Chain A
Amino acid sequence: MIAIAGTIAIVLLRRSALARAAFGWSFLWTSTWDPVALRFGALPFIYGTLATTAIAIAIALPLGLGAAVCLAELMPRRLADPLTFLIELLVAVPSVIYGLVGVFVLVPAIRSLEQAVGPVLGSIPLFAGPAYGVGLLAAGILLAVMVVPFIVSVSREVLLAVPQTQRDAALALGATRWETVRDVVVPYARSGILGSVFLALARALGETMAVTMVIGNRPEIAASLFAPAYTMAAVLANEFTEATDEVYLAALVEIALVLFAITLAINALARLLIASVRAAPGAQRP
């Protein structure tokens, strides 16, 4: 087990050695990606990965937390339990299937949206650019759909774990049920909810297939939501088998290394947060 995890790290380090030697740390903030001239920089991919993930969380967090509140506080268990089960089924759907729906349903829909919105909001940098359909927005929305079930599932669990006496205290003071949820229950479950966000984050960062199919595959940094972009996982999926040159290959492996490191860090944080909620529910600092 430990052997496996360790092996992966070692292999990645060795295979990327060429690239690391050639480019050093500046690999992380160079934005040229030129397989012909053999000059590589990871910045466009890091940007694409972070941007799509940020969009995904921005959509998924309010949606997921809202659904979790409804399922934990409002609905009777007999209704909420099967519905939660259904939502958790979304986690089992293979990524390539999300990609399939993304390519044939989401992208055309966004293209129409962009065409409608372009003339009105086109001067704002966030919405500028031709209406391709593929791009940051499409990938962000698809990712949001994929990670929402994580947030719903874990948040619901931690909300249900908040002791009833806390709610009783707030209600007895004359708070409405909504105020109780907003000011007592959710703050109590804060770290668990944050943990679920980190889990969603980790999943979104490493997500490959669905994103590859709708991102547009352009290694450039642009501010617009409508711009095609590229993520670390997507470039690996598309170009790994095409890489003919040793340095090219090593550069790609180095991107894999960066991805590996980031997901490692986020996962560790997530586990820590969720564990702290389970361990000491009564002893939280305000």
Chain B
Amino acid sequence: MNATYRHRRRVERLMFGATAGATVATLGVLVFLLGYIAWQGATSLSWSFFTALPAPVGEAGGGMANAIVGSAKLLLTAALVGIPVGFLGGVYLAEYGRGSLASCVRYAADVLNGIPSIVIGITVYALVVIPIGHFSTLAGGVALGVMMVPVALRSTEEFLRLVPDSLREAALALGAPRWVTIVRVVIPAASRGITTGLLLSLARVAGETAPLLFTALNNRFWSPGWLQPTASLPVMIFTYAIAPYEDWHRQAWAAGLVLLALVLGTNVLARFLLRSGAVRSA
């Protein structure tokens, strides 16, 4: 009798030990990833990385100033495309969304969320690049913006839903029309949550590479205006990493560190902002 209990206890200790091991392994990967990139990137980072243009192929030196600016322009465009659609869609779903149309929209957002980014890139290629005739920042921005929409929409809707109905009822009871209630009461109450949600959606697309491959392409020089191909951090990382030049590898690490710091930093910042309350009630 006692032997079976001891055996069952041993099995329990073994299996729970295994699960602890799995946890350690998963966390270990994260720690290793961050640490390795920090180490490799920090040793390659220099002032010229931020200020210089890429050197001619085969020559050492140079930086990624154009990629940094390019990424910024792409994100700006993406925000202009994605935020209005996502935000307004979220408002619609939260405030007016009952019934089958709303469910359809929600479903479509989930579908869009799941589409591989490269497929979106191809579609934007067909719709924007071909008519214009060449690759452009605009096309890249549109592709990223499209990817932002479902994330922005979902988070806006969720945060608006968190606002208690009592606030809405109070405003309506005072005689305010529906849209005024939404604009002057509900949205401000959820503003912190919505802002962080939009920030997160921006951070998500900041690291995307695939959709840019056929829209913004790449550029070894500055890209004036919005209708020329442009360099971007993620694409540069990709290009440099698979190339045979040692110097390029080092620069890829540096760029990786910068990109990772930006993306993870935004994520952690957003979580902390949310922790102190996403919605102001009363």
**Chain A directly contacts chain B within the complex, with at least one CB pair under 8 Å:** yes
Interface positions of A (Cβ within 8 A of B): 1-2, 4-5, 7-8, 11-12, 15, 62-67, 69-71, 74, 83, 85-87, 89-90, 92-101, 103-105, 145, 148-149, 152, 176-179, 182, 202, 205-209, 212-213, 233, 236-237, 240-241, 253, 256, 259-260, 263-264, 266-268, 271
User: Is B20 interfacial (CB 8 A cutoff)?
Assistant: yes
| 85-105 of chain B: CB within 8 A of chain A | 85, 89, 104-105
B259 neighbours in A (Cβ, 8 Å): 94, 96-97
B123 touches A92 (CB 8 A): no
| Contacts A92-B204, A94-B263, A100-B256; A4 near B146 (Cβ below 8 A) | yes
Closest 3 CB pairs of A and B: A94-B207, A206-B116, A66-B22
Q: Mark B121-165, 1 if CB is under 8 A from A, else 0.
A: 011011100000000000000000010010001000000000000
Interface pair B122/A240, CB less than 8 Å apart: yes
Known contacts: A87-B26, A213-B238. The answer to whether A97 contacts B207 by CB under 8 A is: yes
- With known contacts A179-B12, A271-B110, A70–B22 Cβ distance under 8 A: yes
With an 8 A cutoff between CB atoms, is B21 at the interface? yes
Contacts of A7 in B (CB 8 A): 123, 127
Is the beta-carbon distance between B15 and A178 smaller than 8 angstroms? yes
23 A–B contacts from the bound complex (CB under 8 Å):
A1-B149, A5-B112, A8-B120, A66-B21, A69-B19, A71-B23, A74-B20, A83-B27, A89-B264, A92-B263, A93-B207, A95-B210, A96-B259, A176-B9, A178-B11, A179-B8, A179-B12, A182-B15, A206-B115, A213-B241, A233-B116, A240-B213, A260-B115
Question: At the interface, is chain B mostly helix, strand, loop or mixed?
Answer: helix
Selected contact of A93 from candidates B12, B33, B125, B252, CB within 8 Å:
B33
Closest to B234 in A: A96
Q: Name the contact of B36 in the complex, choosing from A8, A69, A101, A260 (C-beta under 8 A).
A: A101
Give Cα distance in the complex from A71 to B16, angstroms. Answer: 11
Chain A residues with CB under 8 A of B210? 95, 208-209, 233, 237
Question: In angstroms, how far is the closest chain A Cβ from the Cβ of B231?
Answer: 14
A94 and B237 alpha carbons, distance in the complex (Å) = 11
Judge whether B108 and A4 touch: CB under 8 Å: yes
- The answer to whether the Cβ of B227 comes within 8 Å of any Cβ in the partner chain is no
Task: Judge whether B223 is part of the interface by a CB distance below 8 angstroms.
Answer: no
- Segment 201-215 of B: residues with Cβ below 8 Å from A: 203-204, 206-210, 213-214
Cβ B122 vs Cβ A209 within 8 A: no
Does the CB pair A206–B119 fall under 8 Å? yes
Residues of the A chain whose Cβ atoms lie less than 8 Å from the Cβ of B271: 85
Please pick, from B15, B16, B119, B267, the residue contacting A8 in the complex, using a CB distance under 8 A: B119
CB <8 Å contact, A267 and B260: no
Residues on A with C-beta less than 8 A from B40 are: 104
B260→A66 contact, CB < 8 A? no
Cα distance, A48 to B105, chains bound together (Å) = 33
A1-B85, A100-B253, A208-B209 as given contacts; A263 in contact with B114, CB under 8 Å: yes
Q: Chain B contact residues (Cβ within 8 angstroms of A): what range?
A: 35 or more
Whether A267 lies near B214 (C-beta < 8 A) is no
Distance between Cα atoms of A70 and B27 in the complex (Å): 13
Q: Is B66 an interface residue (CB 8 A)?
A: no
Among A93, A97, A103, A264, the one with the most B-chain Cβ atoms within 10 Å of its Cβ is: A97
Residues of B within 8 A of A253 (CB): 122
- 13 further interface pairs, Cβ-Cβ under 8 Å (given A86-B30, A178-B11, A179-B12): A1-B89, A1-B108, A5-B111, A8-B119, A83-B23, A97-B260, A236-B118, A240-B213, A241-B217, A256-B118, A260-B115, A260-B116, A271-B110
Shortest B43–chain A CB gap in Å is: 13
Given A2-B105, A87-B27, the answer on whether A94 and B260 have CB atoms closer than 8 Å is: yes
Contact B85 A96 (CB under 8 A): no
Identify which of residues 189-225 in chain B touch chain A, using a CB-to-CB cut-off of 8 Å. 203-204, 206-210, 213-214, 217
Which residues of B in the span 228-282 have a Cβ within 8 Å of any Cβ on A?
234, 237-238, 241-242, 249, 252-253, 256, 259-260, 263-264, 267-268, 271
Closest B residue to A241 by CB, please name it.
B214
**Could you tell me the distance between the alpha carbons of A103 and B239 in the complex, rounded to whole angstroms?**
12
In the complex the two chains form, is B268's CB within 8 Å of A89's CB?
Answer: yes
> What B residues does A264 contact at CB under 8 A?
111, 114-115
A92–B21 Cα distance when bound, in Å, is 23
B33 cross-chain contacts in A, Cβ below 8 A: 90, 93, 97-98, 101
Find chain B residues with CB under 8 A from A271 CB.
110
Complex contacts, B37 vs chain A, CB 8 Å:
97, 100-101
A69 to B26, CA, bound (A): 13
A196 to B256 alpha-carbon distance, docked (Å) = 29
Collect the chain B residues with CB atoms within 8 Å of residue A267's CB: 110-111, 113-114
Contact of B118 with A208 in the complex, beta carbons under 8 Å: yes
Bound CA–CA A237/B121 (angstroms): 10
CB contacts (< 8 Å) of B77 on chain A: these are none
* C-alpha spacing A253/B122, complex, angstroms: 8
